[in-house]
Each structure stands twice: as structure tokens, then as C-alpha cells.
A and B are shown apart, each in its own frame.
Chain A
Amino acid sequence: MRAPLSTTIAIGAGTLTLLGFFIPVEALTSVRSLLIEWAVLLAGVAGLVAIAHLLSVHWRKMTASRNRNVTSAFLLIAFGITFAAGMVLKPGHPTMQKVVTHIQVPIEASLMGVLAISLTVAAIRLFQRRGGWMSVLFAVSAFVFLIIGSGFLSSSANIPVLKDLLAAVNALPVAGARGILIGIALGSLTTGLRVLLGTDRPYSG
């Protein structure tokens, strides 16, 4: 067996956690809580490692002898300033929160606006690039849900069939979403069993 110690630890931890979820015993619940807290701590450390890796990558790109990326310097400089401000002002300071609300939120919102325009242009040129029934179906469905999502038809409650029609149309994405959720649940269950049975050992490297 490959990595027997890691496999034993993983199966044991998973089994205890699962038993602690189904069996309301104080000992199992405590062990389950302890293991999950360890997982949260490891996730936090993983976040720090990810930050360090991001900085190292941009440092290499900035100091590379060939194809040097100057924009990486902006990232490093911005990180240094934000980190220093956070260490001095603490994260709950209103100035530190404005870093997000006054810089990050407008930038990301602008990107969403550009995305909306790009998607609109792509939808306009849909029949220019590709024809066929799938394009027609996509265009019709996009058009219908744009109208419904806009709430334009919701204000016309006096139309007799409209209410039933909207309910039927809104049931389509719900049906699809439920199928996706069932698939996700089965996949999660299978993955959990494989890890518990030792068939899948992603921790063994």
C-alpha cells in the first residue's frame, strides 16, 4: 500500500467525523469538532502559503532576465502598502475597509459592466458566427429569460394565461438546477466513500 500512514490517518479522521455527525455522542462530537477546527486552521495557513506563492511568482516575473513583466511590480507595491496599512491600522479600521469598498468594488463592478456589453455584442453576432438550431434555441431562451428577468411581464398580472406561463417557464431552470444538485450530491457521496475506503488517496501525492 502506498503511504499507509497517511491513508490510515485520513480514513480514521473521516470515519470519526462521519460518526460524530450521525451519532450524537459527546466524545465523537468533540473529536469531530476538534478535527474540523484543525481543518479550518490548515485552511488559514494554506491562505498564507497561497499569498506567499503569489508574491514569489510575481517577484520572479518582475526580476526575470527575459520577458520581464513590469506590471508585477504594481502588484507587489500595492501588496506591500496594503499589508503595512493593515498591520498599522488593523483590518476593522474604516480606512482599511475603504481599500475594498472604494478600490476593489468599483474595479470589479466595472469588469462586470464590460462583461455585460461583451455578452451583448456576442449575442448580437451569434448568427453571424454560427448558425443552426442550437443557436436559434440559445437565442430564443436568452431572449425569453431576459424579458422575464426584467420583470416586464410581472407587472402584467391581468393577463389570464401569463401567470401560468411564467410559472411554467420558471420551472425549467429549477428542474435543471435540481438535476445538477442531485449529481453534485451523488458525486460528493462517492468521493467521500472513496476517501473513506482508501480507494482515492489524494493526500498520498
Chain B
Amino acid sequence: MSEIICPYCGSSNDIDALTCLSCKKPLYDDVEVPDNSPQQDGMDWLNTFRGFDTETNASSSTAEPGGESTDAEPEIPEWLARIRALKGDEVPPLEEEEPLPPEEIPSLLDQDADLPDWIKEIKASDAPQSSEENNEDFPDWLKDLSDEENPTPEPEVAVGSGMVLPDIPDDLSVDEGAELNFDSQSEGTGPLEPVSLPTDTGELPDEFFHDVITGQTQSAEEVGQPDLNWLIERADSNFPQDEPTAQPLDELDGQSLPTLEQPEPAPSAAETEPGESTELPEWMFESGEPAGNETVEPTEIDFAPVEDNLAGTSSQDLITAPQEAELPDWLLEDEAAPPAQSPEYLPEAPSDIETGQMPGWLHAMRPVEAAAPNLVASKEESRIEASGPLAGYQGVLPGQGVVTHYSKPPVYSARMQVTDKQRIYATLFETLIADETRVGAPAAAKTKSSQLVMRLVVGLVMLVALVAILILQPGFAAFPTLVPPESVAFYDSVQTLTSAATPPRVLVGLDYDPSLSGELRTISTSVVEDWMAGNSGLAFISISPTGPALVSELVNAAAAQNPGYLTAERVINLGYLPGGASALAALAINPTRAAPTTMDGLPAWESLLLQGMTAVADFDAILLLTDNAENSRAWVEQVKPAAGDTPLLVISSAQVAPALQPYIQSGQISGMVSGFTGGAAYEQLTQSVNGPVRRYWDAYQGGMLLIAALMLIGAAAFGIKKFVRRPK
């Protein structure tokens, strides 16, 4: 049953109530509440049709302007009056709904010939009360018809469909209704549009929807539903068009009954399309709360209660005991029989319509609510909206809790959940890292000063010792008696070439830096002296930028020991050859293109010394002066293959000697003199008494032994000091 919530106290009231049962306040602001209207009596309209309670209903109906048609007012039930009042404010249907053309009225009024007595009584009572204008619109035969006393059977309203309409006359029995000529009515008014089903389908039996599905109730015409246009016409004739309260059926037809005046009724939630109803399965009608149970918003018109009232189920509950006693038998029978008994009327339906059966697959697709209707009434549907524009409505989808209830987003902690064991491990790891990254304590000023003192002391000791040895020349260092074999090979090669009949022409590669010139120039001087002694031609070339300048220094030092050597003729400086190993490769391929000119810009290969030479192999020997292992390797790898049998002799510093030893053992280097030891060995082999190496040999050996001694002393001192401090 539909309910309405009192806006003042919030109590639930019946949908038909105009005032609240609890606070006695009007439920609708725009509806005047009659003082002496019977409580919850929705059957006064029915009694009006019977002729009962006319006086009471006349006083309870809303006041009509002009006071015309006073007998028609009792016919208006309360719920309808309220709807008229509401609709009068919002819906302007009267001007839009054109009355039936006069041509159709006779066809409608022809039915009055079969009207029952009670309708005729109404007509008789209405005729003098209606305005003359209305009467004038009626044709003569209609005017005469009002005087006729022949009872005409009132068309029964959708008996076969099980739908109970409100304007069923009291004295109209089922048998009489069965005798009505529906065909003539339908022919006169055209095919009747399917009557909308009552929205309160929850009380309807399944068989009803079964019939709907099978198409037996697809239209009022098929089921023999009588046309209700006579009631519409009656209402139109009795009440002015501009009075909404005088046209209840127009409104009903316009809203709930998609019939004559509105070919295209606007769909609403309270309406049920007959066409759709015939196609809908049974479970759709069984599920959900009946539409009539919805509460009505005071400012809007909800036709669901109206249809509930139209349905006999609603009015049945409102019939009081005295009224029930006055009802005719057929109505009581109809009221006593629930809509579930509507199949009793099925034999009255046309026999050519077969009873349809719901297919099995459609039965299987029914939702759970169809099988268990009790579960349909959920909490949400029984919930009453408490706020918002839908306040008071029942069964509204819950949106307030979702939309209006805001909450702060959850705040997740970024703090890591660490167990005690993990914390212990992290602490240990942090300690280890701290120990590793901890810088040792800065040395004290005392330590710095001691280091500085030690450096000064060591430096002064070495400087003083070496200077003293160089000055004093004590001669304590003996020349080595054990000569390395490469030095012997070097010596043999030089002696072989310089002792030849023709002076040899030697390509000298000077490839050392000024930083090591003290060592290499000293070693090389004695060798160059020997070459000069043999009147050898020397072609110097360098892959170091400072090499050409060092050439002159070396040549001048060696030439000083050989005054008869013609340096200008026998020595050519080919200058600097950029490109490292590539330059050596170019030199090995074609020396005339790699180094075409001398340092002075003269054509080198046209000189007397180099005339006729086009390749590296044309030289008698290649002498390399180097302090760089990489450049030495480049000479061996790039130049030696192009030199062929030309011996490659190397004078190197002591630091490069180990890197060149493999090439000596492989034969790529014919002989080598390395370091002061090699120079001393070479001078030992040449029996040079005043050679350059000899002059520095004491200082060299003394300095080496001094350094070794200092290392030994330092290691012993600091080792013992550390050993002594350790027990503490």
C-alpha cells in the first residue's frame, strides 16, 4: 500500500489521506482539506454513483466556481480532487485537450440508450444542472435521450482483463455487463486503445500476467473491454472544460489511459504500456514494489495512487462495513474475489484467442526475485528518503549516502615496517659503512713537520752525496765485468759496420724526452762517437717534437770527441715526424715521401749522404734512442719489417729495457744498450777510459746504493716502531 510521509512529523500516512494521522496537519499545502470529510473514505465517489451520501459528498467536494453542477461534485473522490488541485497548478491539459468533435458525440451517446437506470438517474439529475451551453451542443436526439428511461447496460470495464475501473456502477452486475454490445461501441468510437494496467500489480495474480503474455489482453477490443468514452463524454458535458476538477476522466485518460485524446501518451513510470505488458514476462510484474506504493511528492502529480484507487484493490480496503452492506452483490463478489480470480472471466473472452504459455527458457531466466518475491522488499526499497528534493519518497535509489557523505582519503604511512631483527642488521650495516668511510684523523702538525724534515734531510743527503761524488770522482765504483749479451751484440754490430770499407749510413731515430736526456744522451754519446769515428753518415729523425733540438745537442757532444768528423756533410736532421706509429709506417714504406726535407728545408734525399736511397732497407743500420716502450714497439713492428736484414740497434733507458728484452730474444732487435749499466758495459767493451758513462758511474752507483740503504733504514726503523707500538 502506498504511503506518504508527513512533512511536519515524518509519520507515515496512507496515500489517500489529506491530513496527517499523527499531527493532524495537512499533507499538501495546495489542497484544501475538508473539515467534515469522512476519514479515509475513498468510496464516496462510488456511493455518489449509487446515489448515496450526496449531501455529504457535496459538502466535501471542492468548491466549484459558479456553483454549477453541484451534483457532479460528489462524484469526485478525494484523491481525484487532490490531483485536480495539483494538476490545476501545473498541468494545463484543458486547453490542450480538445473535446471530442460533435460528430463523435452521437456515436458515443448512442450508448446511453443502453445505460442502466442509475446512470439515467445521474443524467436526469445532471441535465437541469448542466449549463445550457453544454446542452446546446448536444444534438436533439441526445437531449431526448436524457429523458428516456430505458435502461441501457453499462459497458463492463475490462472484466476479462481483471482490471477494475473506478466508475463501475454499483448496480451493474457481471451478467449485465456480459450482455453489453461491445462491438457496437468499438465501431462507433474506433478501436479502443489498450487500457493501461494498474500499477499496483503486486496484488494481481500470476494468471493475469500470464494472460497478458499470451496476448489475450493485448487490447481492450480483443477482450471485449467496454469503451469508457461515454464516461468521458459525460464528464465533458457535465463540467466546464476550464475546470480541472470537473474532468476527472479526462485527466485519467490523458495520463493513465492512452486512449482517445492523446494518441501518443507520454510514457511515465506509473504507466504501463499495454503493448509492452503483453510482451513482458510474468516475473517482471511480480518483481519490485508496486508502483502505487510510492509516495507522492506534494508538488508533483503522481498518478500511481490514482490508479491504485482506480483499481478495486485499493478501494476495497477502504470500504467500511456499512458501505459494504450497501454494495450490490456483484460488486461484493468482485471485491471479495481478488484479482487472482480473474481467470473466472476468461470464458467471456473471445474463444479464438489461444492461451499462451511461457516458454521454458523464459521461465528459467526469471530472476531470483521472481521465485522468491519476499526477497524483493529490500531495505533500500522500504527506505524512505529523508532529505533532498525526493524527501518523503519510498523506494528511491540511495544516492545520498554515496554522494553527500564525503570522507577524507585514507592516509597511508610511508614508514617502513621494520622488525627488530632487520633493525639490528641495519645498524650493523650502518656501522660497517661508517667504518669504511671514516677518514683517518688528520695528521697532526707535528707529523707534517716531521715528514717535511725527513724529506729535506733525505733530499739534502742525496744531493750532497751525489754532488760530492761528482766533484771528487773517488772512483770506488768498478765497471761491470759481467756484460749483458745484448750489449755485446750491439758492440759487435757497431764494430762490424764501422770497420767496413765504405762508411755506413745509419738511420738514427731519436725518441726520448728532455726529462730523460741526462741518461740517454750520456749513454748515446759514446756510441755516436764510435759511429763518427767510423765516418758514418747519420740521418736523424724523431717522432718527438723536442727530438730535433736534442739531436743537435747529441751530435755536438759526440763531435767534440771527433774533431775530424764533418758534421755538416755526414749528419742530416730530418726533423720531426708527426703521427706516431702511422708516421713510422709511412717512413718504412717510403722515407722519401715521409720526410722529404731537412730541418733547414733542404731536400734531404738529394743530399750527398742520402743520395740514391729510397727505402729504409737502404740504410746499413737503424739506431733507436728511446725511453718509451710504446714507441720502441712501434719501431720494431713498423720499421723493422721494411728494413729487412738491416740491423736494428737500440739504446734505451733502464725503464724500457725489460719491455724490449723479448724483441732481443726474438732477433728483431740486433743489440741493445740499456741504462747506465749497459752504457758502462759498452764502454767496458770499447775500453773507453774517459767515456761519459765513466764520469757519472760513481755517482750513479753511489746514488743507487744510497737509496737502497735509505729504504733499508727506513723500513727497519718504522717496522720496529710499529712492532713496538702494537702491544699497546
Contacts and interface: CB of A to CB of B under 8 A. Distances in A.
B614 to A, nearest CB: 13
Q: How large is the interface on A (under 10, 10 to 19, 20 to 34, 35 or more residues)?
A: 35 or more
B704 interface: yes
A97 B661 CA distance: 33
A116 B661 CA distance: 25
Interface in B496-523: 513-518
A155 to B, nearest CB: 4
Overall SS of chain B's interface: helix
Interface in A124-161: 124-128, 131, 139, 142-143, 146-147, 149-157
A184 B713 CA distance: 38
A39 interface: yes
A150 B585 contact: no
A151 B679 CA distance: 11
Given A39-B582, A40-B578, A177 B661 contact: yes
A154 B718 contact: no
Nearest to A40: B579
Given A101-B550, A123-B710, A177 B515 contact: no
Nearest to A146: B708
Given A101-B549, A150-B700, A90 B600 contact: yes
A104 interface: yes
A142 B715 CA distance: 12
B719 A127 contact: yes
Contacts of A180: 659
Contact of A29 (B459, B550, B589, B715): B589
A174 to B, nearest CB: 4
Interface in A86-111: 90-92, 94, 96-97, 99-101, 104-105, 107-109, 111
Given A155-B479, A177-B661, A146 B704 contact: yes
A152 B516 contact: no
B531 interface: no
B480 A125 contact: no
B654 interface: yes
Contacts of A174: 658, 661-662, 665
A43 B593 CA distance: 16
Contacts of B590: 33
B449 interface: no
Given A101-B549, A181-B662, A43 B719 contact: no
A67 to B, nearest CB: 25
Contacts, number: 207
A37 interface: yes
B62 interface: no
A112 B627 CA distance: 13
A52 interface: no
Contacts of B658: 173-174, 176-177
A66 interface: no
Contact of A151 (B600, B660, B677): B677
A112 B711 contact: no
Nearest to A118: B455
Contact of A131 (B478, B585, B722): B722
B707 A123 contact: yes
B481 A124 contact: no
B157 to A, nearest CB: 92
Contacts of B545: 47
Contacts of A157: 481-482
A44 interface: yes
Contact of B553 (A39, A101, A117, A178): A101
A116 B462 contact: yes
Nearest to A124: B714
Interface in B680-697: 680-681, 697
Contacts of A91: 548, 575, 599
Overall SS of chain A's interface: helix
B515 A112 contact: yes
Contact of A117 (B458, B675, B718): B458
Interface in A172-191: 173-174, 176-178, 180-181, 184
B375 interface: no
Given A33-B593, A177-B661, A128 B722 contact: yes
A40 B480 contact: no
Contact of B714 (A118, A123, A146, A154): A123
A101 B552 contact: yes
A97 B552 contact: yes
Interface in B429-480: 451, 454-455, 458-459, 462-463, 477-480
Given A43-B583, A127-B722, A151 B676 contact: yes
B76 to A, nearest CB: 95
Contact of B662 (A105, A107, A146, A178): A178
Given A92-B600, A154-B677, A180-B659, A117 B589 contact: no
Contact of B594 (A37, A143, A166, A176): A37
B458 A92 contact: no
A121 interface: yes
Contacts of A107: 514
A85 to B, nearest CB: 13
Given A100-B550, A101-B550, A166-B482, A124 B713 contact: yes
Interface string B639-663: 0000000000000001000111110
Contacts of B575: 91
B409 interface: no
Interface string B589-603: 110011000111100
Listed from nearest, the 9 A-B pairs whose CB atoms lie closest are A124-B714, A154-B480, A100-B549, A108-B515, A150-B704, A92-B599, A43-B579, A173-B658, A128-B718
28 contacts: A40-B578, A43-B578, A96-B549, A97-B548, A97-B553, A101-B514, A104-B549, A105-B515, A107-B514, A120-B707, A124-B454, A125-B451, A125-B718, A126-B711, A126-B714, A127-B714, A127-B719, A139-B715, A143-B711, A146-B711, A151-B680, A154-B481, A155-B478, A163-B482, A173-B661, A174-B665, A176-B658, A177-B660
Given A101-B553, A109-B517, 13 more contacts: A36-B582, A40-B583, A105-B553, A112-B515, A120-B707, A124-B454, A127-B715, A127-B722, A146-B711, A154-B483, A155-B478, A157-B482, A178-B661
